[in-house]
Amino acid sequence: MQPPVLIKNRSSYKRLAEIIDAQGFALIETPREITKIISTIFAVAPTFFNQSPARKMEDGFCNLASGYRGIGTEFSISNQRYDLLESFSYLAVEEPIVRSGLSDSAMILYNLLKKYTSSLERLIDRVISNLARVYGAETKQLDLFSTRYSPTQINYYEPYQYRRRVLVDPHEDGVLLTALVADCPGLEILGLRGECTPIECSCNTTVLMAGELLALLTGYSISPIRHRVRRYSNQKSRLSLVHFANVNIDTPVFPWLVNDQNRNIDIVAKAINNPTRFGLPPLNRQ
């Protein structure tokens, strides 16, 4: 795998889409206004996660994607080996039933995740519409991507506490595109031959990675990016902020390119059920 190159802000969305089409991922400079929101989230999140387990569980919701999840819910390969992280999530479609149930400290984080999600909407929309253009499909479906069904999750790790070499096992995300920032190293992208590429992480770098749904849209012309999180024993804590850009499950989704890899696969059904592969509830239209 070629060493990842940081795409500068002045690059066009067309160029960015071509890079994602070619290698399945891209590293971009985080737009300055978004960096500010990320810095605030990273400053506020430890206060939430450093509360007692009992206090945090009060901000958890059964059968919803939103809110707090402790270690022992989410996994990447098997429910015999959970991801070694805690998380807190925002999902727009669930807001009417979640907002009234949150504590004050959770509400601060929730509102910030909501703000971050809307700040990313234009960027993600442009990337996806330019990717559609690569496949001559830009007019096929204009409302393909929806923030309504796209969760944003802040992950909190305490790597020094564990012995496992890998905190999150290798997996592909079950969405269109993942946008990820982290405050320190750990993320590794796996190549088709299993080779690992460590990604330099900071608030200023956003990693965009193709998920399974983008692969299905393109008949696997774009490969979904396998990735994992490696443990660095000297890290007392690690934060990552992940936005999972998803398809709009309220409308049918048509592939941009049809072949044996995606013929007769219901992409909306995949979008709804993919979270269950990781121990999470299926997406719900509410």
List contacts with Fe ion (CB under 5 A): 173
Which of residues 255 and 275 has its CB atom nearest to Fe ion in the complex?
Answer: 275
* Distance between start and end Cα atoms, the chain: 42
CA-nearest of 163, 156, 198, 204 to 181 is 204
Q: Which two tokens stand for residue 85?
A: 């992280």
Q: Which residue is nearest to Fe ion (CB)?
A: 173
**What stretch of H or E contains 56?**
helix 53-57
3-state SS, residue 265: coil
**238: β partners:** 157
Nearest-approach distance from CB 205 to Fe ion, in angstroms? 16
Nearest-approach distance from CB 144 to Fe ion, in angstroms? 21
Which of residues 38 and 106 has its CB atom nearest to Fe ion in the complex?
Answer: 38
Which of residues 125 and 173 has its CB atom nearest to Fe ion in the complex?
Answer: 173
Nearest-approach distance from CB 90 to Fe ion, in angstroms? 17
Which of residues 86 and 173 has its CB atom nearest to Fe ion in the complex?
Answer: 173
Nearest-approach distance from CB 16 to Fe ion, in angstroms? 20
Which of residues 59 and 173 has its CB atom nearest to Fe ion in the complex?
Answer: 173
β-pair type (166-171, 152-157): unpaired
Query: 48 exposed, middle or buried (CB, 10 Å; 0-12, 13-18, 19+)?
Result: buried
Nearest-approach distance from CB 146 to Fe ion, in angstroms? 20
